[in-house]
């Protein structure tokens, strides 16, 4: 049996970064830039006002104060999006709104608060300036955010909302990014019924297709749902063939020692088994290999295959540990690891058989430190315990027991505000 690290290393060594593709900026969220982005414009494009006020020649405000205002003749009003046709000559000012380009001749803005704007009579041709301002006061200079020709985003950057905004500010509607992997999902088991069917006695609803598809989507991939294959080699082979155009094939179930567990036999015949069984709990019977296929053009290609255990919790945890990093690598991401923090454990955990335990836990910050509380029964069929958990407490292989109060490592599954489930 190999370790979690060895398994991951083998998976990643078979995983390649995918090709680049042009994407509309909003659809590229979470994808990795495949080009350097340079600006072809200055941002802002022109010197403009940072405040609502008056565009002035700063020298005209010399000595101005509340006690001794300087009066300037108002020659125009300019709004954001318009250009004043007037030049600010000595003794004059232009009423200006935030974002409006600074008129010719002006070198500063006096905010309304520092003028007699509120007392000014309607139609009055003059404004009283109550403050002396320096050249450049409340002026945003052309190119002060981004200078024309400068590099704004580097190849390899992950596109998040600020990057989408920055690209839009440059007038980019599309960018080159590494494409998203398609992950085909095939679940096995004669006991499985789809969610939109009535449930006959002796059957269970198929949850793995949905939890795994949700994870694929969550981490940026495109799920391709292949449905349920019965536990026979023929059914499995024909199911797998539906997924040979995908970048990765994920199956669940059929990888343990049961009579009908046929995945690894099929894998051995249809391609190559790289490993089977990892020293971990839950999730020991996880298989990885490659399946021989042909692409749409008839060219031979190998499709990565990850055979996850059927138990719903084991399937999700092994996906987090092995499929997620592979998806992220295919997408060109560099940081493939989930964050791991240290927390105080609230109850003991016994490690009976020298495997690495990943125990579902709720991690909270209390009194300046993280505290990890197990979500209750840890059976690998208890999927509701995943809905409670935001982390996995890691018990190393060589540790037979952790005691209440010990410091443990916790892999964080989800830091988001939504991850703390409402108590039921």
Interface ranges with ligand AMP (CB under 6 A): 187, 189, 191-192, 204, 206-209, 252-254, 256, 258, 309-312, 381
Query: For ligand AMP, which is the closer residue by CB, 55 or 316?
Result: 316
Work out what residue 58 binds among ligand AMP, Mg ion, none; the CB cut-off runs from 5 to 8 Å by kind: none
The nearest distance, CB 191 to ligand AMP, in angstroms, is 5
Residue 323 makes CB contacts below 8 A (sequence gap 6+) with 183, 212, 215, 216, 248, 250, 306, 308
Query: For ligand AMP, which is the closer residue by CB, 55 or 187?
Result: 187
The nearest distance, CB 182 to ligand AMP, in angstroms, is 20
Query: For Mg ion, which is the closer residue by CB, 83 or 204?
Result: 204
Indicate which single residue of 253, 285, 289, 332 sits in contact with Mg ion (rule: CB under 5 A): 253
Q: To which residue do tokens 């990057």 refer?
A: 163
Query: For ligand AMP, which is the closer residue by CB, 93 or 313?
Result: 313
In the complex, residue closest to ligand AMP by CB? 310
Q: Which two tokens stand for residue 211?
A: 């939890």
Q: Which two tokens stand for residue 385?
A: 């315990």
Question: Within a 10 A sphere around the Cβ of 298, how many other Cβ atoms?
Answer: 6
The nearest distance, CB 202 to ligand AMP, in angstroms, is 11
Residue 188 Ramachandran class (φ > 0 left, ψ -120 to 50 alpha, else beta): beta
Strand partners, 406: none
Instruction: Calculate the dihedral angle through the C-alpha atoms of 291, 294, 300, 304, rounding to the nearest 10 degrees.
Output: -30
The nearest distance, CB 214 to ligand AMP, in angstroms, is 13
What's the number of CA atoms in the CB half-sphere (13 Å) around residue 246? 27
Query: For ligand AMP, which is the closer residue by CB, 227 or 339?
Result: 227
Cis, peptide link before residue 241, omega less than 30° from 0: no
- 189 touches Mg ion (CB under 5 A): yes
Q: Which ranges of 228-381 would DSSP assign to H, the alpha helix?
A: 233-242, 263-270, 312-318, 324-330
- 310 touches Mg ion (CB under 5 A): yes
- The DSSP 8-state label assigned to residue 415 in this structure reads -
The nearest distance, CB 194 to ligand AMP, in angstroms, is 10
The size of the interface with Mg ion (CB under 5 A), counted in residues, is 3
The nearest distance, CB 188 to ligand AMP, in angstroms, is 6
Work out what residue 15 binds among Mg ion, ligand AMP, none; the CB cut-off runs from 5 to 8 Å by kind: none
Q: Which two tokens stand for residue 259?
A: 């009579």
- 307 touches Mg ion (CB under 5 A): no
Residue 139 makes CB contacts below 8 A (sequence gap 6+) with 47, 48, 49, 50, 102, 107, 108, 109
> Which residues bind to Mg ion, rule: CB under 5 A?
189, 253, 310
């Amino acid at each position: 049996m190999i370790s979690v690290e060895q398994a991951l290393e083998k998976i990643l060594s078979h995983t390649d970064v995918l090709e680049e593709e042009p994407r509309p900026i909003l659809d590229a969220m979470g994808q990795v830039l495949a080009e350097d982005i340079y600006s072809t414009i200055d941002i802002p494009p022109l010197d403009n006002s940072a405040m609502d006020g008056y565009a002035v020649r700063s020298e005209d405000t010399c000595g101005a104060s509340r006690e001794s205002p300087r009066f300037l003749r108002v020659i125009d009003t300019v709004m954001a999006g318009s250009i004043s046709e007037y030049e600010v000559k000595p003794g004059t000012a232009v009423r200006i709104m935030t974002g409006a380009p600074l008129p010719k001749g002006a070198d500063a803005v006096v905010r309304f608060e520092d003028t007699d704007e509120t007392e000014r009579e309607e139609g009055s041709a003059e404004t009283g300036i109550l403050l002396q301002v320096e050249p450049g006061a409340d002026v945003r200079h052309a190119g002060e955010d981004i200078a024309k020709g400068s590099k704004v985003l580097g190849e390899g950057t992950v596109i998040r909302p600020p990057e989408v905004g920055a690209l839009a500010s440059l007038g980019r509607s599309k960018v080159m990014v590494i494409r998203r992997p398609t992950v085909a999902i095939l679940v096995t088991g004669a006991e499985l019924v789809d969610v939109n069917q009535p449930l006959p006695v002796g059957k269970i609803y198929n949850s793995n297709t949905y939890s795994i598809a949700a994870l694929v989507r969550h981490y940026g991939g495109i799920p391709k749902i292949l449905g349920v294959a019965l536990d026979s080699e023929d059914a499995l082979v024909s199911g797998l063939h539906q997924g040979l155009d995908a970048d990765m094939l994920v199956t669940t179930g059929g990888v343990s020692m049961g009579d009908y567990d046929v995945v690894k036999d099929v894998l051995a015949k249809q391609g190559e088994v790289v490993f089977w069984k990892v020293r971990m709990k839950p999730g020991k019977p996880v298989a990885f290999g490659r399946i021989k296929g042909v692409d749409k053009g008839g060219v031979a290609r190998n499709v990565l295959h990850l055979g996850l255990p059927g138990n719903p919790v084991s399937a999700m945890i092994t996906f987090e540990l092995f499929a997620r990093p592979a998806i992220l690598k295919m997408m060109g991401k560099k940081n493939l690891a989930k964050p791991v923090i240290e927390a105080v454990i609230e109850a003991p955990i016994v490690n009976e058989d020298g495997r690495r335990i990943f125990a579902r836990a709720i991690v909270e910050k209390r009194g300046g430190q993280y505290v990890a509380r197990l979500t209750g029964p840890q059976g690998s069929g208890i999927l509701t315990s995943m809905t409670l958990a935001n982390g996995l407490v890691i018990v190393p292989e060589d540790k037979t027991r952790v005691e209440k109060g010990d410091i443990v490592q916790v892999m964080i599954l989800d830091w988001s505000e939504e991850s703390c489930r409402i108590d039921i």
